[in-house]
A and B are shown apart, each in its own frame.
Chain A
Amino acid sequence: MGEWQRKHLLGLKDLSREEIEVILNSAQAFKEVSEREVKKVPALRGKTVVNLFFEPSTRTKTSFELAAKRLSADVVNFSSSGSSLFKGETILDTLKNIEAYSVDIFVLRHSVSGVAFYLSQRTTSSVVNAGDGQNEHPTQALLDMFTVREKLGSLENLKVAIIGDIYHSRVARSNIWGFSKFSSSVYVCAPKTLIPKYFDNLPCKITYSLKTALSQAQVVIMLRIQKERMKERFFSSQREYVKYYSLNEENLKFLPPEALVLHPGPVNWDIEIASSLKEKVSNLILEQVSNGLAVRMAVLYLLAEKRSYEVID
């Protein structure tokens, strides 16, 4: 098994298949910790993790906070919505100020693509990207992959379909990078307006037909669609979107029976997924949430370990 060598986790684009496997294997061990009576391990005792969230988030922030606490790290939450400029402070100043408290790991969420990368080049702390604009959300994709590996036993040679608002989705991008490293073929499916021009430069196949996307897929990732996209003229009406791109009893028949349906949550029932399928798919979506905790513990652990080696060096 390979070793973890990176200081930051910014995205899955740059990770090798082996590095992803290191994280998933480590997450497996941490999942077992969460099933124990005493759910806490001392792995990050004395380390400081700061959740730096410049965009509203409850789910991801809670997950990271709990992950850090179960590893015995000291955790601080810093939330600031709205422009940092408005407060007369640059985002770099904000980061440097908090860094002065000898922070080991920043967990960063920001509404602008590329900010995690930008800041990682300017800090001595480690940076975990918890979602940057529409770019990447690596831990979400890792927990999707963890869930799939656990259920199907392998990530190899799968057909993965990602359905919905590809244009605005960092989850889609991270999953495309992640699954494609395992020789799986990733199909993205949406109305053409919701797939950016030049998207064929990413390792995925583009289709506008839900049937093509679902046929023989072992994994389906449904993405959340926001109603504001109608005002922005990405599609015309809810009923039309539902007719062509919603997962329901009827088009479920294109899927092999063992196929997995994932959703990063929260689900808009009857928009992305028919509520009649709620019982069928809900358990797995909740399992994703608990797997997310294990994956985030693994990521924090690996980055902290890497930092300790560096100090010894």
Chain B
Amino acid sequence: MKLLIKQGVIVNPDFKKRADILIENSQISRIEENISEQGADKIISAEGKFIFPGFIDLHTHLRTPGREDEEDLLSGSLSATKGGFTTLLSMPNTIPPIDNYEIALRIRKEAEKIGLVDIYPVGAITKNREGKEISEFGFLAEAGCLAVSDDGFPLKETSLLRRALEYAENFNLLVISHCEDLSLSGGGLIRESPLSAEWGIPSVPEISETVDLVRQIEVARYLNSRVHFAHISSKRSAELIKRAKEEGINITAETCPHYFTFSLKEIEESGFSPLYKVNPPLGREEDKLALKEALKEGVIDVIATDHAPHTYLEKEVDFKSAEFGMIGLEFALPLSLGLVREGFLSLEDLTCRLSYRPAQILNLKDRGYIKEGLRADLTIVDTEREQLITKENIFSKSKNTPLLGKVLKGEVVYTIYKGKIVYSSSR
């Protein structure tokens, strides 16, 4: 099978150029200005389109096993392909948690059978995600895990955090850390702010994230270990990460499209729609701006979705009863393109945040860049095409997004995974 992509603009982290791409046996075999159509089994015209290395999401919740009513590996895979993602990490806050070899392997195998996107289960740092004993990192790595996390929970005990970082290094696992001081955040629903004071809403102070971040940075510095920080949501956190990186501490960080797209303003204007309820909670306008700057400067390395599917009933309740989280796989590209249009990022930067840096962080050398010999994971994008978001055109099982009814600019037209077209926009 030979797939030829004609006349698209390749967007690598360091340059853009118009070229043809020939794919053979799931690999990129040739990139040249003009490749003859002869012998190609299928030709895609990418005239006027941009070709990115397939997007890599460091943070999704595919709810498998245990909550397949919210999302399963198939619906999650379909949602990923529509969003242009070809590799993703699936968090272990499942029932039961992904804390052992058998569950991790089962997810990896089932996802392989579906074959639409490379799904790596994230192992739980502690058994049953209880924050007590460390899981079998070696076995988890053998089952295909690239990272471990107790996502949703911080490791409260600092000695445990230390041991987890040390033990993970043994097996070359990435530790993904959630920063939250539960004694400060407990019961909070939105960021502590003039809005929370005015409406008397239980709130989470900014220091819930930053106090824990500082603690974890210190442990990483002391051990000279590497930590990746999940879903950074505040300006102050970005400043602290910047300072730590300047000191040479081995940390990386992600933020999510909702943190640079929404703020307390949307919560207020929507009349406290639970669709805006996420953890950590949305920040102020100045946090949004600072996160955009941090993505521009590379202080924050990665855009991850924190795709968090929930059933209708779990979100269409009052703000307090509603679950935290919104779906994100299908909107990451158009929302991130917003940063390009606003002048914060170049298209090359976008490749960096959505493909290249995530691949580096996961130490996946066969993807995240477009060149001959690498895996043919490609996302072809029409940056100008507009799409109306409706429940009907969302591939995820869950529809919990405040973007319903909105028009977004920029759409994936083809997703190519291991040389196969796994998604093409039907329009």
> Which A residues have a C-beta under 8 Å from some C-beta of B?
13, 83-85, 88, 90-92, 110-115, 117-118, 120-121, 133-135, 167-170, 173, 196-199, 201-202
Considering the chains assembled together, what is the distance between the CA atoms of A199 and B195 in angstroms? 9
> Do A92 and B272 have beta carbons less than 8 Å apart?
no
User: 8 Å CB contacts to A: which residues of B298-320?
Assistant: 313-314, 316-320
Say which one of B20-28, B32-40, B196-204 lies at the interface with A: B196-204
- Range of interface residues on B (Cβ < 8 Å): 20 to 34
Residues of the A chain whose Cβ atoms lie less than 8 Å from the Cβ of B198: 13, 173, 198, 201-202
Specify the chain A residue showing the minimal Cβ separation from B203: A196
A110, A114, A173 interface centre (most CB from chain B within 10 Å): A114
Q: Which 8 A-B pairs have the closest CB atoms?
A: A134-B200, A114-B272, A198-B197, A201-B194, A196-B197, A112-B320, A112-B318, A198-B194
Q: Does B321 contact A (CB under 8 A)?
A: yes
Task: Give 24 A-B contacts (CB < 8 Å), ordered by A residue.
Answer: A83-B321, A84-B318, A84-B321, A85-B317, A90-B313, A113-B200, A113-B201, A113-B319, A114-B199, A114-B201, A114-B272, A115-B272, A117-B271, A117-B272, A118-B271, A118-B319, A133-B201, A134-B200, A167-B200, A173-B200, A197-B192, A197-B197, A198-B193, A201-B197
Specify the chain A residue showing the minimal Cβ separation from B314: A85
Specify the chain A residue showing the minimal Cβ separation from B267: A114
> Do B271 and A199 have beta carbons less than 8 Å apart?
no
Contact of A168 among B196, B199, B200 (CB under 8 A): B200
Residues of the B chain whose Cβ atoms lie less than 8 Å from the Cβ of A202: 197-198
Q: Does B205 contact A (CB under 8 A)?
A: yes
Interface of B is mostly: loop
Knowing A90-B316, A197-B192, A201-B194 touch, does A135 contact B321 (C-beta < 8 A)? Answer: no
User: 8 Å CB contacts to A: which residues of B370-419?
Assistant: none
Residues of the B chain whose Cβ atoms lie less than 8 Å from the Cβ of A84: 317-318, 321
Chain B 261-276 interface 0/1 with A at a Cβ cutoff of 8 Å (1 = within): 0000000000111000
Closest CB-CB distance, A185 to chain B, in whole Å? Answer: 18
> Do A198 and B196 have beta carbons less than 8 Å apart?
yes
Chain B 219-261 interface 0/1 with A at a Cβ cutoff of 8 Å (1 = within): 0000000000000000000000000000000000000000000
Residues of the A chain whose Cβ atoms lie less than 8 Å from the Cβ of B200: 113, 133-135, 167-170, 173, 196
Knowing A90-B316, A111-B320 touch, does A121 contact B194 (C-beta < 8 A)? Answer: no
Closest CB-CB distance, B254 to chain A, in whole Å? Answer: 28
> Do A85 and B271 have beta carbons less than 8 Å apart?
no
Considering the chains assembled together, what is the distance between the CA atoms of A85 and B194 in angstroms? 29
Considering the chains assembled together, what is the distance between the CA atoms of A85 and B313 in angstroms? 7
Residues of the B chain whose Cβ atoms lie less than 8 Å from the Cβ of A170: 200
Residues of the B chain whose Cβ atoms lie less than 8 Å from the Cβ of A110: 318
Considering the chains assembled together, what is the distance between the CA atoms of A92 and B319 in angstroms? 12
Specify the chain B residue showing the minimal Cβ separation from A89: B313
Considering the chains assembled together, what is the distance between the CA atoms of A201 and B203 in angstroms? 16
Residues of the B chain whose Cβ atoms lie less than 8 Å from the Cβ of A173: 198, 200
> Do A92 and B197 have beta carbons less than 8 Å apart?
no
Knowing A133-B201, A196-B197 touch, does A114 contact B313 (C-beta < 8 A)? Answer: no
Residues of the A chain whose Cβ atoms lie less than 8 Å from the Cβ of B317: 83-85, 90-92
Considering the chains assembled together, what is the distance between the CA atoms of A135 and B273 in angstroms? 16
Considering the chains assembled together, what is the distance between the CA atoms of A56 and B329 in angstroms? 41
Considering the chains assembled together, what is the distance between the CA atoms of A133 and B200 in angstroms? 7
Specify the chain A residue showing the minimal Cβ separation from B268: A114
Closest CB-CB distance, A111 to chain B, in whole Å? Answer: 7
